[in-house]
Structures are given as structure tokens and as C-alpha cells.
Amino acid sequence: MKAAVRQKFVSGILLALLGAVLFSTKAIFVKLAYRDTNIDALTLLAWRMIFSIPFFLSAAFISSSKTENVKFTFKQWAYIALIGCLGYYISSLLDFMGLQYVSAGIERLILFVYPTLVLLMSAVFFKIKIKPLQWLAVIITYIGLVIAFFGEINIQSARNENFLLGSFFIFVCAFTYAAYIVGSGRLIPKVGASKFNSYAMSFASIGVFLHFAVFSNVSLWNLPPLVYVYSFLMAVFSTVLPSYLVTASINKIGSGNTAIVGSVGPVSTILLANTFLGEGVTVWQIAGTVLILTGVLIIGKQK
């Protein structure tokens, strides 16, 4: 029995790691789209969801067609709609807006305050005790993040007058995404990971489409070809695949552990940003990366 539990925990960690790496590619695709075209945040997000929603609607139909399917209550429908819009409509829009003014590396730094917010929300609203080992992993991870990006923060704030505005957007994004992680952690055991994710993402897509229809006068059909290419890649590799990986991880190891293990995301962002965007890698970033990985390994050794 212990071996089975251990295997489930390890598989949950691996799912969270892979999901975090794929999620980190989102910032790269967004920055590439801003660099190579004159696209705005809302239009880019709309195309991301246009390419994503067929996958989620298909998965939702398949999940609901199974013989063991249990229908949602009205309360569950409302929660899923709210949580989905928080996690992938509001959070994504704020993230896209912030990425107009900050680098991919800085975006990851600010966004990854969300594991701490997840643990605090879980403790405050659901009275879940935070384990000492979790606190230790969080502390080590965030020391690594601060070390990795401290120099870059000074550089970016000196160059970009909208740096603080972009940073604010990303921080609010982190808060709403933390709320999504906490809420999904309560609902997934009741309704199932795949079914929850499919409907939550579908509601988020509808929210984005309504927002675009009301507030944008941009045509979706006369854009540079690279907008469609980047949006499609972002939909498949930065949205659909990692969203199912993360929900499966939450189902196996819980929202708190998934959030902490996901802190490896900035590591992959540094490497990807250096490769595709030309963002530099410093000694401080390497030192921070070592600490981040140490924090992840501590979580991996939990029983």
C-alpha cells in the first residue's frame, strides 16, 4: 500500500513538472508575438482560446458521455464557471497585458508568488495546516527566485517606465491564478480532473470571447500570419496539454504540492527566453536555479 501511495505521489510530481515547463512556454510565445507583430493582448488571447476551445469541448463531451458520469449540481456549475474564468480568462488577460511591459523572466518571478498565496488561501479559507517541510521548500524556492532575478529587476525598472504597471498586472494575475488552484483542488476530487478542466477552460474561453466582442473593434481575420502560428502553438503546448497535466497532478498530490513543484517553471523560462528571445543568463540566475531545484527535490522526498 505504501509503495502504491509513493508511486502515485511521484507520478503527480512528474506531471506537475512537465505541466510547469509547458506552461512556461506561454510567455515565450506571447513575447515572440509582440516582437514580430503589432498584436494587442486581448486579440492574442482571443486567438489562443479559439484554437483551444475545440479540444476542451470535445473532452467535455467525452467525459459527460461516460456511463459513470455524475451530473453537476447547479452550485458546482457556478463554481466551475467562476474558477475557470479566474484561472484562464482574468489571469490570462492580466498576464498578457503585463507581458507588454516586462520580460519573460520577470513575468515568471512575479507570477510565482502564487504557490505562497495558494498555501495561505488554503490555510485561511479551508483550515489546511501548512507542513513545516512545505514552508521550507517555499522559502528555499523564493530565495532562489529573488537571487535569480534581482539584477534583472533593477535593469528592467531603469529601462521601462511602464515596468511597475506591468509588474502590477502580473501580481494580480498571480493572485487570481492562486484562487483557481485552490478552488480546483476542492472540486477536482468530487467531479474528476479531466471533466473539471474541460468545462472550466470552456467557460474561460466563453469569457474571453464575450470580452473581445464587447471591448474590441479589431478584426480577427486580417492579422499577420505569425499571429495565427504563435496562437496555435500557444493553444496546444502552453494551454491544452499543461492544463490537463496540472489538473491530473492536483488530483494526485493536492493543490499545495502542485503549486510548489510548479516553481520549476522559471528555470525553464530562463532557458527558453535565452534561446528564443535573447534574454541573458547570469551567474545569479544559475545560483537561483540551483536553489529552486533544491526546493522541488525537498517536496519530492515527502512521504
Cell numbers placing 64: 459527460
The pLDDT assigned to 96 comes to: 96
Q: Looking at the predicted structure, is the pLDDT value of residue 198 above 60?
A: yes
For residue 267, what are the contacts with CB-CB under 8 A and spacing of at least 6?
A: 289, 292, 293
Q: Taking residues 255-263, report their average pLDDT.
A: 75
Q: Looking at the predicted structure, is the pLDDT value of residue 6 above 70?
A: yes
Choice between 224 and 143, residue whose per-residue pLDDT is larger: 224
The whole-angstrom separation of Cα 156 and Cα 167 is 11
Q: What are phi and psi of 160, to 5 degrees?
A: -120, 115
User: Is the torsion defined by CA of 146, 152, 158, 164 positive or negative?
Assistant: negative
Per residue in 65-107, pLDDT (tens digit) is 887 777 888 999 999 999 999 988 999 999 999 999 988 888 8
The whole-angstrom separation of Cα 152 and Cα 249 is 32
Averaged pLDDT score across all residues of the chain: 85
Q: Kindly list the distances between the CA atom of residue 262 and the CA atoms of 15, 65, 79, in Å, as whole numbers in the listed order.
A: 10, 32, 24
Least reliable range by pLDDT among 26-40, 130-144, 147-161: 147-161
Nearest to 140 by CA among 257, 21, 288: 288
Task: Tell me if 101 sits within 8 A of 160, measured CB to CB.
Answer: yes
**Band of residue 296 on the pLDDT scale cut at 50, 70, 90:** low
The pLDDT assigned to 300 comes to: 56
pTM: 0.84
Cell numbers placing 256: 499545495
